[in-house]
Amino acid sequence: MKRNRRDAWPRIVIALAVTACVVSPAVLQSQSAAPAPPPILLGTAWYPEQWPESRWDQDLALMQQAEIHMVRVGEFAWSRMEPSEGQYDLDWLDRAITAAAKHGIYTVLGTPTAAPPAWLTEKYPETLRIDENGHRAEHGNRQQFNFANAKYRELARKIAEQMAKRFGHNSYVLGWQIDNEYAEESYNPDAKAQFQQWLQARYGTLDNLNARWTTAYWSQTYSAWDQIPIETRYGNPGLLLSWKRFVSDTWRSYQKNQTEVIRANCDPRQFLTTNMMGWFDGFDHYTVSQDLDLAAWDDYVGEGHLDPAKNGAAHDLTRGFKRKNFWVMETQPGFVNWAPVNNSLDKGEVRAMAWHDVGHGADTVSYWQWRSALNGQEEYHGTLLGADGTPVPLYSEIQRIGSEFAKAGPVLAGTSPKSEVAILHSYDSRWAINWQRHNHDYDPIAEIVSYYKPLRAISQSIDIVPPTAPLAQYKLVVAPGLNVVSDEAAKNLIDYVRQGGHLVLGQRSVMKNDDNGLQPARQPGPLAVLLGGRVEQYYALVDPVPVEGQWGSGTSQLWAELLSAQQNDVEVLERYGKSNGWLDGQPAAITRKVGKGRITYIGVWLDEPTMAAAAKWMTEVSGVKPALGAVPDGVEVYPRYGEHGAVYILVNFSKSTQTVSLPGPMKDVLEGGSKQSIVLPVYGLAVLSVERQP
């Protein structure tokens, strides 16, 4: 399950099924009815239940004209599928799937459990979620359910089972999306009781829990499991982290409640996923992704314009959940309805964003939504058709994307990103820092992106993976703000360095143990011996602190750590200038060779120019080379590699036309011919291929 996808569809489905379904010869025969879908899919969210069936064919014909080959349906249609308890109506959905198939359009089915029907919440009020303030949700929105409630899970499992029995062997159903955008945790009595049971299973005894949480502090010692409360913002750090881990495990079990029954009734060709939300940290996505076949996320810009670094890092984060290609299950067609200012993306920006997605490893880009609903909470959200059912101006740009995906699909089939650089990321660390920022502007996402942006500009490809992932393939591994480090993760990092890798630890790394308690050894804890130095003290900053050294002169606005070099072979890379007296002249960044490997610690939040110089140094000493070669600022390079060679996607996000000289002749996949250089207008792009030499 860890290997990258090597074929656009036929091979992925072999790797996808974790539990094989029993397939009869008759079913196998039905599978052959649908041809293989395109390698790179353009899709949209379609809600046939909102419109008369007489309209369906017209909608699907417009999709076909735009070369849209996938629709996601059903994820909010529970009241239509089960109008009263135990009375199921899936005939309309069958007709919608059949109608789409006639236009060469495949379906991803969403289980509708994010929006329970009114009869359910009225009959079973215990299924309604209670929020942190004790308020019980009411009907009229979505995600009003209690994710820990046994009755809700029973009813959710039943509707998923009915859908799977009906469509689990439909050859035009590609796969399943479980629920929609998991987000709202529950504070109901049953959730609290389950949390206490979870703690007992994890810690075994109260003596163990009390010791590991240091509950002697503030007289927090517990003598019974049911004394332990739920805390989410300010409380014992061990309690805070345990609650988030429980939430993650509960979402995983909530999901398994449906995936198990779908797998039992499905064709192994059909995948299971859910649509996550990029940098959202309501749960640990690595935990929840374990039982899925592929990762998917909903990619929205909101106010403003695409930030290729922050958005690209979110793509690479999502790709790291399963360490293979992923889907963009939703993305904005121009604008949204929930931002402070719902501006539209520029003409050409939606197309550039679609190729940015594919470049980072997306094999599907799907727009939310197809047509404006006539009512409901999202009336003003961008669409491809207006409420009147006719195309909006963006439709022609979507048509162009569809045509380009069709042209480039055969070359991109079986390809995926491959990187020499990895950034380590953990939800435990982000939560731990956010609970105790120490400087209100200390954003752990911004810290990651501050390293990601210059490193990606140089290397042109980065993986974002958890600290326990295999690391041997990387020449450079960077860990910004890896605050919470388990014994397993520490051993993985030490082994990586000893085997010849270059590990760079960013500020606030390795402060905490696996229970969110301070390491007994000074930062970087179990890695300090390897580093030959340590953090003597950390400082949240009110006034900027100057730094200077091998990376030039700069300042830190937020954070500074006073480092010490305790071994003679430790090299000081940067020192602090005159500031608060404690930091004056002290090391701000140090490095040490360890056999064939190297470990570096950066204790200062560097400004952009100094960080760019630091990234240049990191890549040079690690032997990291750009995938394509030097390109003008603002031009993004996205390499994807496969059995037959490499494909390079180039997108110009700068504000002027750029000319890119290529390292050798390359095939221009979209325009044809062989090119030695290309000219890219603003938001212009190119897809270039190079065949592998025998």
- Residue 134 tokens read as 């004790």
> What is the amino acid identity at position 560?
A
- Scored b (16 or more CB within 10 A) or e, 537-559 reads eebebeeebbbebebeebbbebb
Three-state DSSP at 593 gives strand
Alpha-helical (H) ranges within 465-515 are 487-498
Length of the chain: 694
Q: Which 8-state DSSP code applies to residue 685?
A: E
Q: What is the Cα–Cα distance from 75 to 67, expressed in whole angstroms?
A: 23
Give φ, ψ of 329 to 5 degrees: -75, -30
Residue 201: is it exposed, middle or buried by C-beta count within 10 angstroms (0-12/13-18/19+)? Answer: exposed
Q: What is the Cα–Cα distance from 353 to 653, expressed in whole angstroms?
A: 10
Q: Is-contact 107 44, C-beta < 8 A?
A: no
Q: Which residues contact 222 (CB under 8 A, 6 or more apart)?
A: 206, 209, 210, 215, 228
Q: Is-contact 33 315, C-beta < 8 A?
A: no
Q: What is the Cα–Cα distance from 318 to 334, expressed in whole angstroms?
A: 22
Q: Which 8-state DSSP code applies to residue 1?
A: -
Cα dihedral 218, 224, 226, 227, rounded to 10, equals: -20
Cis peptide upstream of residue 144 (ω within 30 degrees of 0): no
Residue 673: is it exposed, middle or buried by C-beta count within 10 angstroms (0-12/13-18/19+)? Answer: exposed
Q: Which of 432, 445, 529, 437 is nearest to 485 (CA)?
A: 432
Q: Is-contact 19 166, C-beta < 8 A?
A: no
Element (H, E) at 588: strand 587-594
> What is the amino acid identity at position 422?
A
Q: Rounded to a whole number, what is the largest CA-CA distance in the chain?
A: 80
Show which residues are catalytic.
181, 330
> What is the amino acid identity at position 40?
I
Q: What is the Cα–Cα distance from 197 to 212, expressed in whole angstroms?
A: 17
> Other CB atoms closer than 10 Å to residue 51's CB: what's the count?
17
- Residue 64 tokens read as 């076909």
- Residue 653 tokens read as 């996000």
Three-state DSSP at 530 gives helix
- 323: phi > 0 → left, psi -120 to 50 → alpha, else beta; which? left
Three-state DSSP at 286 gives helix
Q: Is-contact 73 29, C-beta < 8 A?
A: no
- Residue 648 tokens read as 């390079």
Residue 138: is it exposed, middle or buried by C-beta count within 10 angstroms (0-12/13-18/19+)? Answer: exposed
- Residue 689 tokens read as 């291929």
